[in-house]
């Protein structure tokens, strides 16, 4: 009752299309939920996202909930998640997607869910990791363990002197570390990102997970850019 009254004075808006939400809707309106550009990658084992990584990294599954299109409803959702502090929408999308994946039996396919970590400076600035919001929702819906600390951004510790300039640059620009190797070793890992564009960050993470003995590697993202 009180909530209905509040909704009259302070209506909530759909984060995707900015229309007023009606009773029973949360974050995303029914029309958007129906019309968002779903990839259905979970129904196609040889999908475009998998093929994108295939050359460099053998992946078990590559899953993306939406296509990322500029100036679209999906971009509005991602903007709200990343720049307006709307962690709840990330978690909600994780729950929705996790429910779909569970229906298809994917909840039996992974042992642990790990989000792609943010740079420490960015994490301090934003206060949260948007990929982790989505990962939490997925973990809850699929009833799979999840860890935000296992995969972390690290610093190059090995000696740099004998590397070429290019190698040194790559070495310091994007280094990841596995802080709890026992959670990765011989496990079926689902790596979770927000939006996959070039895929280079994901590839670096996959490499370090493979180096730490992961048995199977899969990727899930909120959205993937069309390519």
Residue 190 within binding range of Zn ion, rule CB under 5 A? no
What's the rounded Cα separation, in Å, for the pair 189 and 203? 14
Residue 14 interacting with Zn ion (CB under 5 A): yes
Segment interacting with Zn ion, rule: CB under 5 A, options 24-32, 48-56, 97-105, 161-169: 24-32
Q: Which of residues 25-64 bind Zn ion (CB under 5 A)?
A: 29, 32
What is the SS3 assignment for 144? Answer: coil
C-alpha torsion angle, residues 226, 171, 152, 157 (rounded to 10): 180
Q: Which of 227, 207, 193 is nearest to 47 (CA)?
A: 227
Kindly tell me which of 88 and 175 has the beta carbon lying closer to Zn ion.
88
Count Cα atoms within 13 angstroms, Cβ side, for 25: 21
User: With binding defined as CB under 5 A, does residue 92 bind Zn ion?
Assistant: no
> In this structure, how many other beta carbons lie within 10 angstroms of the beta carbon of residue 9?
6
CB nearer to Zn ion: pick between 68 and 110: 68
Tokens linked to 15: 């984060």
Interface residue with Zn ion, options 7, 17, 152, 225 (CB under 5 A): 17
> Is 21 an interacting residue with respect to Zn ion (CB under 5 A)?
no
Task: Identify which of residues 89 and 139 has a Cβ nearer to Zn ion in the complex.
Answer: 89
- Using CB under 5 A, list all residues that contact Zn ion: 14, 16-17, 29, 32
């Amino acid at each position: 009752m009180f909530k209905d009254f509040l909704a009259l004075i302070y209506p909530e808006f759909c984060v995707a299309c900015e229309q007023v939400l009606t009773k029973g809707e949360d974050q995303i309106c029914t029309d958007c939920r129906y019309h968002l550009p779903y990839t259905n990658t979970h129904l196609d084992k040889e999908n475009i996202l998998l093929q994108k990584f295939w050359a460099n990294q053998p992946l078990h599954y590559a899953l993306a909930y939406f296509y990322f299109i500029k100036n679209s409803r999906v971009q509005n959702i991602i903007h709200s998640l990343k720049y307006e502090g709307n962690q709840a929408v990330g978690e909600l999308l994780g729950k929705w997607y996790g429910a779909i994946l569970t229906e298809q039996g994917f909840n039996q396919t992974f042992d642990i869910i790990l989000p792609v970590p943010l740079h420490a400076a960015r994490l301090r600035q934003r206060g949260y990791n948007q990929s982790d919001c989505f990962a939490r929702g997925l973990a809850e819906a699929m009833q799979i363990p999840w860890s935000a600390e296992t995969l972390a951004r690290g610093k190059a510790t090995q000696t740099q002197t004998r590397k070429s300039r290019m190698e040194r640059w790559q070495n310091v620009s994007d280094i990841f570390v596995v802080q709890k190797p026992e959670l990765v070793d011989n496990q079926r890992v689902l790596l979770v990102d927000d939006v996959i564009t070039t895929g280079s960050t994901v590839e670096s993470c996959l490499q370090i997970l493979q180096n730490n003995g992961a048995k199977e590697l899969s990727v899930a993202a909120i959205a993937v850019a069309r390519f």
